[in-house]
Amino acid sequence: MRYIAKENDLGVSIYEFIKFCDFIEHEKPFATPKGALSTKACYEVNKLLQYPKAGAKKTDRMDQYPSVSLWFLIAKEAGLIAYTETKGSKSTYTTTSKYVDFKRMNLFSQYLLIFYIWFCFVDGGTQYNEGGLGSIVIRSLDRIFTRLAENGSEKWIKNDQSGVNIFDEGSDPAQMMMKLFYKSAHNLRDLGLIEFEEGAKLNKYFKTPIISLLKPTEFGAVIFGACEQRKYTAFNVHYEDRYFELLYDRDAEDDPVLDQQRGEAFEPEMESFVTPFLDCFPQGSIDIATIRRILYEYDNLHDDNRVFEFKVSLSKKCYRVIRCLPMHTFEDLHLAIQDAFDFGDDHLYAFFLDGKFYSKYAVNSPFTEEPPFADELCLGNCRLTNKQRILYLFDFGDEWTFDIVLDVKYDTGVIDEDVKIIKSVGKSPEQYPDRDDDDEEDE
């Protein structure tokens, strides 16, 4: 008979996650310039958790704390915590109204929301970048899940003390995890999917514990079995540029699993994804409607409580802050930038959402041939994140390059539906400077 999750299987994970979010709510910790938690906050919250990092130092960065970084990334991607500016040069994190809704759900629904966000939206290449091997770790996760599902929860997997070749498809993925991928194992334990024992030795290269024994929990075994139908490498939006490939079929293979994910939104279809996992929980225990409302509030663009403030810069001394709503398109933002810098809208343009020049993550001018097009894509239908850096390129000949940093605000009470230029610093440059004057100055 198939194992069905019990509250005890999920209790520790949910309790840990809520403990982390409550810390954010009560302490409102400072954020680093790149949007991570401050070293002080990481050190303090680490002491509260079930599986704290051993030997933590007050100077350790967030990426050195497996549990802290996991809960932070999930809470941030789910929109349960948000980055807010304070007076002076520092900013803080706090919880959002979504967190209140999250706490009202039952334990099983809370867990599935957390699992869905972790599986589909947390960037494994960053989270598991152990010794620079992040891409290798995430490529191995499907094999690890299959191996653990086959092993089951009755038998321990012992470290065989032999070497492993991370580039060899024949290597035992469980042994790879035990010897090399400690952070990924730590997170699977955080999620209640495995249990393990650490050996006495550390990996000399990665400076992480070597696991001596490992096995799935009863709950983990059935979850890993369901993962056979929902491959991590097919559903995680960060895996090998899936983010845009799924949307616009750029160089994507004819794959039915990928086909069901393609659509107008930037997210894998939630109902499609969770189907095989529902059987792991008691019948009728998952509140799909509430999960969707929490995660996809921007399906209804006019009821969204977010406000986007884009800091658009040509230099440190010349920038504009432009306020938009989720219903506005990228073309609306483009026209506002043109107006803010006194430019004429007479050339092609593109927004590169990863901040990299001519990357494939482009939202293009409607007069080009490559979708997505700026006049069709609403800001609210794109999974924009707080402090995301975007590169805006105008005029592919002269290449006017603008650096954009996004500040996402919630519950601001803004009711004006127009795009607004709310701050202007520095004099705008001439779009077409007099070339003759430049030549005379050179002479």
pLDDT for residue 295? 81
Q: Residue 440: which pLDDT band, with cuts at 50, 70 and 90?
A: very low
Say if 435 falls within a structural domain: no
Domain end (from 297, 316, 345): 297
Domain end (from 297, 328, 345): 297
Give residue-wise pLDDT tens across range 410-436.
766 766 789 999 999 999 999 887 755
Residues 378, 282 share a domain: no
Residues 179, 155 share a domain: yes
Residues 266, 164 share a domain: yes
Identify whether 372 is preceded by a cis peptide bond (ω within 30 of 0). Answer: yes
Say if 430 falls within a structural domain: no
Sequence-separated (6 or more) residues with CB below 8 Å from residue 305:
97, 297, 410, 411, 412
Residues 334, 215 share a domain: no
Residues 154, 29 share a domain: yes
Number of domains into which the chain is organized: 2
Say if 117 falls within a structural domain: yes
CA dihedral for 297, 298, 301, 306, sign (positive or negative): positive
Residues 372, 266 share a domain: no
Task: Give the predicted TM-score (pTM) of the model.
Answer: 0.75
pLDDT for residue 260? 42
Q: Torsion angle of alpha carbons 119, 382, 308, 365, nearest 10°?
A: 150
Say if 437 falls within a structural domain: no
Give residue-wise pLDDT tens across range 307-326.
999 999 999 999 999 999 98
Domain end (from 297, 322, 343): 297
Which token pair is 164? 């492993």
Under the phi-then-psi rule, with left for phi > 0, alpha for psi from -120 to 50, and beta for the rest, what region is 11? Answer: alpha
Strand partners, 216: 194
pLDDT for residue 401? 95
Residues 192, 61 share a domain: yes
CATH of residue 408: 3.10.290.30
Say if 286 falls within a structural domain: yes
Range of the structural domain that residue 284 is part of: 7-297
Say if 164 falls within a structural domain: yes
Give residue-wise pLDDT tens across range 53-62.
989 999 999 9
3-state helix, strand, coil in the chain (%, to 5): 40, 20, 40
Give residue-wise pLDDT tens across range 344-393.
888 899 999 888 888 777 899 998 888 889 999 899 877 787 778 899 99
Residues 165, 102 share a domain: yes
Say if 431 falls within a structural domain: no
Q: How far apart are CA 222 and CA 219, in angstroms?
A: 6
Residues 173, 110 share a domain: yes
